[in-house]
Structure 1
Amino acid sequence: MPVSTPSAPQKSASTAELPAAPPPSARTIAAAVILLALLAAAIWSIIDLRINIASLADSASNAVDFAERVFPLDFPPLGELLGLVATTLAIVTLATALSVVLSLPVAIFAASNTTTGRMSRGTARVLIVVARAIPDLILAIIFFRIFGLGALPGILALGIHSVGMVAKLYADAIESLDNGPLEAIRAAGGSRLQQITVGIIPPLMPQLIATALHRFDINLRTSVVLGYVGVGGLGLEMADAMRTLNYPRGMALALFVLVLCIVVELLSGAIRSAIMAGATTRRSGGLAGALDRISSGWFTGGRRAQTTRPTGPGALVPPWTAERVRRFAFVAAIAIVLALAFLGSGLTWRDTFTGLAQVGPTVGLFFPPGGVDLLTMLLRELLITVEIALAATLLGAILALPIGILAARNVVSNRAVQTTFRVLIVLVRGIPELILAIIFVVVTGLGSVAGTLALAIGAIGLLSKLVADSLEETDTRVQDALRASGATGPQVFVAATLRQAAPAFVAHLMYLLDVNVRSATLLGIVGAGGIGFYLLNASRVMQFDVVTTIVLMILAVVLIIEGLAIFVRKALS
């Protein structure tokens, strides 16, 4: 009887049919190498800057001494305080309006569905990158030389720098619009102006207003920084107080700035949420509905029922319907706000035109770049600036990631925990990083440690919110499937939620590094280390050729980091 030998175990059909995981692409490997190199550089930066527990513990006595010198707080008289607030809000309002006016045409040229010419689109994209790369502090220094003291340099600096963010968001929004109405207008023989005013602006209105409100928040915090180079309002008053070591007055103003930033952010955030919710659902109730009714559909881009209007040769002027009255009143209200802001800022047309006549001679002071004998020192300080940004990004991530996770509604079921960490994020977001840097300079002394700690804590406000939003945007069906199979909460989080959000986390960290490089430059003006201190000193002693050299160095670093960030995001998307 033949003896059968045991055969090798056969794979099941389902297992045999499973495709092998594709090997990582060269771009993915390169992105991983870049991230590991940045991590190693960040760790080395923390060591080189001597940021450790022992040095922080040694500064504890300085913190106690600083607290004793600050209290009791010394608030200015109410009338003076309200005047400072009015000046600050006027500058920020005009700067934000200027950024919208400049950004919209740039965005139209940068969007692929509104501009077919590659040269025009490429030029617009370059303008967006350059506007974002040049810190507003540098723009303010240049404009102060052209226009002198006053609100105009601050308005121009904030407005032009804002184009880098606002125009990019507008261009992305234009590219995501439904092209049907635009193509219909084009097919009917509509001009380019008609295509823009009818096919782009109305559906884009929610994004226009929401982005402007978001930029208003950012410009309000930045105006405090520009106070150190002469921009009026709360920032200038606080800078004067801190320079004279009047800590009770300076920290009282800082506290007021914090409260003002938080109030403005909560208010604008509520309006933004209402606008976007109304644009998506077209609801007629709540805040979105109220704004929609007041603006006759402008806030949410809603379409109102058209009133029957007479036609014919005698009906050239549309009747004053209730809808037209509301729309007119809405536009008039915006015009009144801008007019009040213009009056509150103290701008005069005469000073503006006088400054424009000096543009040519003033620009000549900045070229050609100079300071060759200072190049070694400037490169060393630039390296310190990059170290501060790298160290702050790593420390900020360590602080912000757990806070963002605990603030995500689909990760933590306890509403009290969610609310607590959401409030913490809002509070930290409301603190201008310059205020944190001033405090740390007093506590830890002049140098890079103060700037690093200020940016690391500031990362909680930015990165934690981005992390929480990314976690909440993950596909909950995957998480529900794992729960149904018996997985525990931590297993669901690691295997489903965190895995889906990981690419977004990497993108957020690269964005934070990009922001920290610019911020590290700005914080140098208060002695928080880096090249910003030398930039401010060069402008004060009117070595404008050295200012140009520093600007070009900063611009090169920012563009390199932005290029790496774009490459990593595309490789991991």
Structure 2
Amino acid sequence: MSEKTIKANRKWHTIFFVFLIAVMTFASITITDFNIFHGIATLPKAIAWIFSNMWISQETWERLPTILEKLLETVLVSIAATTTGTVVAFFLSLMGSKTTGRSTIWGAFARFVASVSRNIPVVAWALILLLSFGQNSMTGYLALFVGSVGFLTRAFIESIDEASQSAVEALRATGATYFQIVFKAVVPQCLPQLISWILFMIETNIRSATLVGILTGTGIGYTFDLYYKTLNYNAVALVTFSIILAVIVIELMSNYIRKVII
């Protein structure tokens, strides 16, 4: 097949996919009865409402200690879910990776667990776990834990598979044990990427924990929901500002740690 024919095929493939996306977009707009022009027209009113209602009053600042306490609870639960999920994900990734996997069956099992826990949203896991554990911090922790295991297992598997095989083969030739190969050849190569994924997961879990808290009645999410339902928009503004600030601080810390490590 000539180069000209290949370019022509790529062109037609691109046109087909653009056309397909356009059709799907139009069908979605039609089915949901979405009016983009109406949405744009109401945007100024929405912004005006936010600035007129979502402002922090002097009385609201008195609620700051309670809000910070709930925010700290959310951050700690997110970190706990991520760190414990990291341990489980690490061993699952060792089973699922082509570099370190010892059994096809266990490898398929690890990838299946990662796929199921990753593809079901954290909010859905929270709703499922609510039936067994009720509205408490444990439900929120488990929902974030399951989501973390799924995401990190997939990310760790990809990182391990990208590791150089030369060091692995060298240790195998010397008769090194399985865990000596893992911790002397594989982990040192992948460690910066693994830490980067863990930090990213902490940031993601803090954002997800806010929504999960609304369902489980815990943390900053419950505080936000409580003030919102009582129409205390000044307190809602302070809660929102606190969440945004916390996420920014965590992200800055993560970026700094990445720079130091990588």
Q: TM-score, normalised by structure 1?
A: 0.42
Aligned twin of 2:52: 365
The code of the aligned residue for 2:119 comes to: G
Aligned twin of 2:163: 474
Aligned twin of 2:32: 345
| Residue 547 to residue 332, structure 1, CA distance change in 2 (3 Å) | same
TM-superposition CA deviations, 1:472-501 (whole Å, max 9, x none): 111101111121223233322221012222
| Residue 458 to residue 482, structure 1, CA distance change in 2 (3 Å) | same
How much does 1:520 deviate?
0.9
| Cα separation, 2, equivalents of 1:329 and 1:506 | 40
Aligned twin of 2:126: 437
TM-superposition CA deviations, 1:410-440 (whole Å, max 9, x none): 1013222211211111011122111222233
Aligned twin of 1:447: 136
| Cα separation, 2, equivalents of 1:360 and 1:490 | 57
How much does 1:323 deviate?
7.6
Does residue 428 (structure 1) correspond to residue 117 (structure 2)? The answer is yes
How much does 1:527 deviate?
2.2
The code of the aligned residue for 2:34 comes to: L
Contact 1:450–1:529 (Cα < 8 Å) also in 2: no
| Cα separation, 1, equivalents of 2:256 and 2:11 | 49
Does residue 539 (structure 1) correspond to residue 236 (structure 2)? The answer is no
| Cα separation, 1, equivalents of 2:177 and 2:96 | 20
Q: TM-score, normalised by structure 2?
A: 0.89
Contact 1:428–1:461 (Cα < 8 Å) also in 2: yes
Aligned twin of 2:4: 305
Aligned twin of 1:563: 252
| Residue 328 to residue 404, structure 1, CA distance change in 2 (3 Å) | closer
| Residue 357 to residue 564, structure 1, CA distance change in 2 (3 Å) | closer
The code of the aligned residue for 1:362 comes to: W
Contact 2:95–2:103 (Cα < 8 Å) also in 1: no
Q: Which has the larger radius of gyration?
A: 1
TM-superposition CA deviations, 1:12-46 (whole Å, max 9, x none): xxxxxxxxxxxxxxxxxxxxxxxxxxxxxxxxxxx
What is the SS of the residue equivalent to 2:34? coil
| Residue 391 to residue 340, structure 1, CA distance change in 2 (3 Å) | same
| Cα separation, 2, equivalents of 1:457 and 1:324 | 42
TM-superposition CA deviations, 1:307-347 (whole Å, max 9, x none): 9xxxxxxxxxxxxx888666544432221111111112221
Structure-to-structure mapping, 1:112-511, within 5 angstroms: 305=4, 328-349=15-36, 351-370=38-57, 371-511=60-200
| Cα separation, 1, equivalents of 2:17 and 2:41 | 34
Contact 1:428–1:458 (Cα < 8 Å) also in 2: yes
| Residue 513 to residue 349, structure 1, CA distance change in 2 (3 Å) | closer
Identical counterparts, % of pairs:
24
| Cα separation, 2, equivalents of 1:509 and 1:324 | 40
| Residue 438 to residue 528, structure 1, CA distance change in 2 (3 Å) | farther
Contact 1:524–1:533 (Cα < 8 Å) also in 2: yes
| Cα separation, 1, equivalents of 2:192 and 2:14 | 43
The code of the aligned residue for 1:348 comes to: N
| Cα separation, 2, equivalents of 1:324 and 1:391 | 49
The code of the aligned residue for 1:369 comes to: I
TM-superposition CA deviations, 1:100-150 (whole Å, max 9, x none): xxxxxxxxxxxxxxxxxxxxxxxxxxxxxxxxxxxxxxxxxxxxxxxxxxx
How much does 1:550 deviate?
1.0
| Residue 528 to residue 541, structure 1, CA distance change in 2 (3 Å) | closer
| Residue 404 to residue 544, structure 1, CA distance change in 2 (3 Å) | same
| Cα separation, 1, equivalents of 2:183 and 2:203 | 28
The code of the aligned residue for 2:218 comes to: G
How much does 1:353 deviate?
4.2
**Which structure's relative contact order is higher, taking Cα pairs within 8 Å and 6+ residues apart?**
2
The code of the aligned residue for 1:341 comes to: S
Structure 1 unmatched ranges of 5 or more: 1-283, 285-302, 308-320
| Residue 342 to residue 391, structure 1, CA distance change in 2 (3 Å) | same
| Cα separation, 1, equivalents of 2:171 and 2:84 | 33
How much does 1:365 deviate?
2.9
Aligned twin of 2:202: 513
| Residue 491 to residue 337, structure 1, CA distance change in 2 (3 Å) | same
Contact 2:67–2:239 (Cα < 8 Å) also in 1: yes
Contact 2:95–2:102 (Cα < 8 Å) also in 1: no
How much does 1:547 deviate?
1.9
TM-superposition CA deviations, 1:205-238 (whole Å, max 9, x none): xxxxxxxxxxxxxxxxxxxxxxxxxxxxxxxxxx
The code of the aligned residue for 1:558 comes to: V
What is the SS of the residue equivalent to 1:434? helix
The code of the aligned residue for 1:518 comes to: R
| Residue 490 to residue 357, structure 1, CA distance change in 2 (3 Å) | closer
Give aligned pairs, total. Answer: 259
Contact 1:451–1:528 (Cα < 8 Å) also in 2: no
